[in-house]
Amino acid sequence: MQYKFPDNFWWGAATSGPQSEGRFHKVHKSVFDHWYDIEPEAFFDRVGPNVASNFYNDYVQDIAFMKEVGLNSVRTSIQWTRLMKDFEAGTVEPEAAEFYRKVIEEFLRQGIRPVINLHHFDLPVELYEKYGGWESKEVVELFVIFAQKCFELFGGQVKDWITFNEPMVVAEGEYLYQFHYPNVVDGKKACQVIYNLNLASAKVIEAFHRSSCAKQGGRIGIVLNLTPAYPRSQDEADIKAAAFAEDFKNNAFLYPAVKGVFPQSLTDVLKEDGVLWDSTPEELAIIKENTVDFLGINYYHPFRAKARENAFDESRGWLPEKHFEEYEMPGARMNPYRGWEIYPQAIYDIAIEVRDKCGNIPWYVAENGMGVEGEEKFRNRDGYIEDDYRIDFLKEHLACLHKAIAEGSNCFGFHMWTPIDCWSWKNAYKNRYGFIAVDLSNQQKTIKKSGYWMKEVSQNNGF
Ligand code: BGP
């Protein structure tokens, strides 16, 4: 075998509550539930989160499918809007608690390690309306209450916890680039949200470490989407532009999560631009003292940056693009079915960066995968999807990861996005990612060729 991975390697996949469960029996609405209810046309084919992949009703069968494709660990999330009866009083919906208890039990019964995430873009819309969502520090406190409830209820069974999935996407989607409700464009608020999410993560980590979960051998991390920023050229101006993009997009969460501090190179620029967040010395001390036990990293594509060539358009106020322009690299290899650049080398670069700049903290690939629009066209006469392109994509990324592990990067697992094709926010079911396909007309699920391939990889601990 050419690529053998470390013992006990996680071969798994990731999904989330709002993208898989469906809205059955939910009392509260998330920002996405609300957005779909008021503007369904904003979603691809007008498909919303109401049914998703029906995990709420089908979880026993779905987890059996996950077992069937060889997954030994799976990440999903507990929905804040499902579990809590009253966000402020900290009371729980008994039916929701029972649902998550049964889901976790089913994972364990099938020998699959459940990795539980507390926030996957699903802020309760009531907390946006009442407080301004992640702009507000009240919401930070309410999130800690929710997290503590989760630890109390499920900490005996779940050993691996995640505070947030891709917090940068919350700031970008809600406050910069208009792909998450409320679709505001406000750079100053985006910066405050970045800070508040870091604070919320640190406070949840603090609560976790004080809880019985930690004493029972549990650990807690964060899942960050890293898009390594590569400069167009070695010219000083391009390097500087890429360095700012790297600081804003990646290090704004990576550094506080693992080092407990924000990069000074970032805060200097934000201060100079008049958009630095409000913080207190007490909060900064909490961030300093409560770093993660491990890291999850989502990697899909790199970011190419160049120095600004056109004057920055001030009409929408401050934006990070004041300091760089995105650059389309000529000849870049693109995923023809999703439009993202394919660059497996970046997974090696990330792994080495974590080794050298983040104290070689234990980490895993928490999402990587290939989205394919119109994947039904690859279904063969025997009725299953022949996704060789996905197998090739995974092999290339895993080969780069393997090289970094051989060079000492402390990576303990690989999760693909996603086990079962799931609902993906505004893109709904446009881009399919799963090892298992879903037919939306009847909720029939079938294993793709990549699922059978993954089973072998997992059994052999390599390929
Ligand atoms: C990641 C998110 C997932 C998922 C994935 C696919 O960034 O963590 O929630 O949505 O992207 O995205 P898309 O369907 O837009 O290709």
**What ipTM score was computed for the predicted complex, to two decimals?**
0.97
**Tens digit of pLDDT for each residue in 241-293?**
999 999 999 999 999 999 999 999 999 999 999 999 999 999 999 999 999 99
Active site residue 309: no
Q: What pLDDT is stored for residue 1 in this prediction?
A: 79
| Structure tokens given for 342 | 């394919």
Q: What pLDDT is stored for residue 137 in this prediction?
A: 98
Separation between Cα atoms, residue 412 and residue 10, nearest integer Å: 6
Q: What pLDDT is stored for residue 131 in this prediction?
A: 98
Beta carbon of 165 within 6 Å of any ligand 1 atom: yes
CATH number assigned to the domain with residue range 10-460, chosen from the 4 options 1.20.120.450, 3.90.950.10, 3.20.20.80, 3.40.50.970: 3.20.20.80
Active site residue 98: no
- Distance, C-alpha 420 to centroid of its chain: 16
Residue 59: closest CA among 94, 15, 93:
15
- Identify the residue whose C-alpha is closest to ligand 1 atom 15: 427
Coil/strand/helix, residue 448:
coil
Phi first, then psi, for residue 211 (nearest 5°) are: -85, 175
The active-site residue, picked from 174, 283, 367, 375, is: 367
Beta carbon of 427 within 6 Å of any ligand 1 atom: yes
- Which amino acid is located at 428 in the chain? A
CA–centroid distance, residue 77 to ligand 1 (Å): 14
- Identify the residue whose C-alpha is closest to ligand 1 atom 5: 424
pTM score: 0.98
User: Could you tell me which residues are beta bridge partners of residue 415?
Assistant: 12
User: Do residues 76 and 69 lie in contact, with contact meaning Cβ atoms separated by under 8 Å?
Assistant: no
Q: Which of 424, 427, 429, 432 to mutate to test the pocket of ligand 1 (most atoms within 8 A of CB)?
A: 424
User: Could you tell me which residues are beta bridge partners of residue 76?
Assistant: 116
> Helices then strands (H, E): number in the chain?
17, 17
Beta carbon of 425 within 6 Å of any ligand 1 atom: yes
- Identify the residue whose C-alpha is closest to ligand 1 atom 12: 424
Beta carbon of 15 within 6 Å of any ligand 1 atom: no
Show the low-confidence residues of the chain (pLDDT under 70): none
Domain boundaries, the chain: 10-460
Residue 255: closest CA among 276, 284, 214:
284
CA angle 173, 174, 177 (to 5 degrees): 50
CA–centroid distance, residue 282 to ligand 1 (Å): 35
CA–centroid distance, residue 226 to ligand 1 (Å): 13
| Structure tokens given for 388 | 């060789």
Which are the contacts of 214, defined by CB distance < 8 A and separation ≥ 6?
A: 208
CA–centroid distance, residue 424 to ligand 1 (Å): 6
Q: β-strands 113-117, 73-77: how paired?
A: parallel
User: Could you tell me which residues are beta bridge partners of residue 224?
Assistant: 297
CA–centroid distance, residue 70 to ligand 1 (Å): 22
The active-site residue, picked from 106, 135, 166, 246, is: 166
Q: What pLDDT is stored for residue 150 in this prediction?
A: 98
**Tens digit of pLDDT for each residue in 103-114?**
999 999 999 999
User: Do residues 257 and 251 lie in contact, with contact meaning Cβ atoms separated by under 8 Å?
Assistant: no
User: Could you tell me which residues are beta bridge partners of residue 10?
Assistant: 413
- Identify the residue whose C-alpha is closest to ligand 1 atom 9: 424
User: Do residues 324 and 305 lie in contact, with contact meaning Cβ atoms separated by under 8 Å?
Assistant: yes
- Identify the residue whose C-alpha is closest to ligand 1 atom 6: 424
CA–centroid distance, residue 166 to ligand 1 (Å): 10
